[in-house]
Amino acid sequence: MRKFVLFAAALSLSGVAAAQFVNPSAPAATTTTHTSVKSVLENGKDDQRVVLEGFIVEHVKGDDYRFKDKTGTLTVDIDEDDFKGQKVTPDTRVRIEGEVDSELVGENKVDVERLTVNP
């Protein structure tokens, strides 16, 4: 019986721990997803989502590449394993998904989490 009482007490406390206050008058959280280089450069804030389509036009050094779409060019950080064996040239249209990496000095970069070759 004692085990049952302890179990019931623990179960009731776990429900309290999961409770959360929701303020109906608070503005809804907005999630910004940037879909152009221009938007990332002008309005990008650290860790905001990015989905871009365009071309990787240059390898700068290490994991840094220059990415270009119809609105401009910026630096993207692509780990080697994100290529997943896909052949990418400056003429290959790609889709990149990732997050804004705000730099203290210089322009914003994009930390790429996923790269897909578009047909």
Whole-angstrom distance, CA of residue 51 vs CA of residue 47: 13
Return the sign of the alpha-carbon dihedral for residues 85, 36, 33, 99. positive
- Spell out the domain ranges in the chain: 33-117
Q: Would you state the pLDDT for residue 18? A: 55
pLDDT at 107: 87
CATH fold of the domain at 33-117: OB fold (Dihydrolipoamide Acetyltransferase, E2P) (2.40.50)
Q: Average pLDDT per run of 10 along the chain, which is 119 residues long?
A: 65 59 58 90 93 97 97 96 94 96 86 92
Is there a contact between 78 and 110 (Cβ–Cβ < 8 Å)? Answer: no
Query: What confidence score (pLDDT) does residue 4 get?
Result: 63
Task: State the Cα–Cα distance between residues 96 and 94, nearest whole angstrom.
Answer: 6
